[in-house]
Amino acid sequence: MGAMGRRNQHSREEQRQMALAAADELVAAEGLAGFSMRKVAQTMGYTVGNLYLLFSNQDDLLAEVSLRTADAMYEYLRGVAARPKAPLERLQAIAAGYISFAQKHSFRWRLMFEHYLPPEKWDHPGLNAQQTALFEFVEEHLAPLLPEASPKQLRAAATALWSSVHGLCVLAITGKLNWSGLKDARPLSDLIVRAFVSGLREERS
């Protein structure tokens, strides 16, 4: 048992990681448009066919790359959230961090949202866990600002708030935002968080 009849010194799992690393770099460098299975295979020193022994198809490979990016972003946001002490500033820092991560890793970030998974694959376990983790992360940092909210209200508020920040991020990245003289997105993300939180507190009084 063990390594039987193996020509290469890399195990299956090592090959998977090599492929993911190569794919991630390729996406980061050329975007989804410049991505191809052949390039990935060549970068990792194997041939195309071998990739299909590691991943069932291109979509699966890209889905795992997306997952990696989501992980990296989540960790980055946790770091960003650690600094500010005041709850509101912490939320604003998270929002700004979300956007700056997206701007820094533009192609990677866009892959997460432009790589379309057919609806029947929407209940991918790892992917959903990631999403709920992000929602709960926002929820956790929103909670101190809405002490009287019920769990359901809090959940709805976090969903709405994160959607809002995400929308600003999308438009900023894709250039579809009418900047109207604004230098960067930070004032707008601050405004969104501030107004939203203040509006929710108002609502409950």
Partner DNA sequence: GCCCGATTTGAACGCTGATCATTTCCACCG
Partner DNA sequence: CGGTGGAAATGATCAGCGTTCAAATCGGGC
Residues at the contact surface with DNA, assessed by CB under 7 A: 1-8, 10, 12, 15, 35-39, 46-50, 52-53, 57-59
Determine whether 187 is exposed, middle or buried from the number of CB atoms within 10 Å of its CB (0-12, 13-18, 19+).
exposed
Q: In whole angstroms, how far apart are CA 158 and each of 75, 149, 185?
A: 19, 11, 20
**Residue 44 Cβ, how far from DNA at the closest point, in Å?**
9
Local structure of residue 46 (DSSP, 8 states)? -
Q: Which is nearer to its own copies, 125 or 181 (CB)?
A: 181
Q: Are 124 and 63 in contact (CB under 8 A)?
A: yes
**Residue 83 Cβ, how far from its own copies at the closest point, in Å?**
24
CA–CA dist 119, 125 (Å, integer): 14
**Residue 2 Cβ, how far from DNA at the closest point, in Å?**
7
Binding stretches for its own copies (CB under 8 A): 31, 33, 110, 113-114, 116-117, 119, 122, 131-132, 135, 152, 155-157, 159-160, 162-171, 174-178, 180-182, 187-188, 191-192, 194-200, 202-203
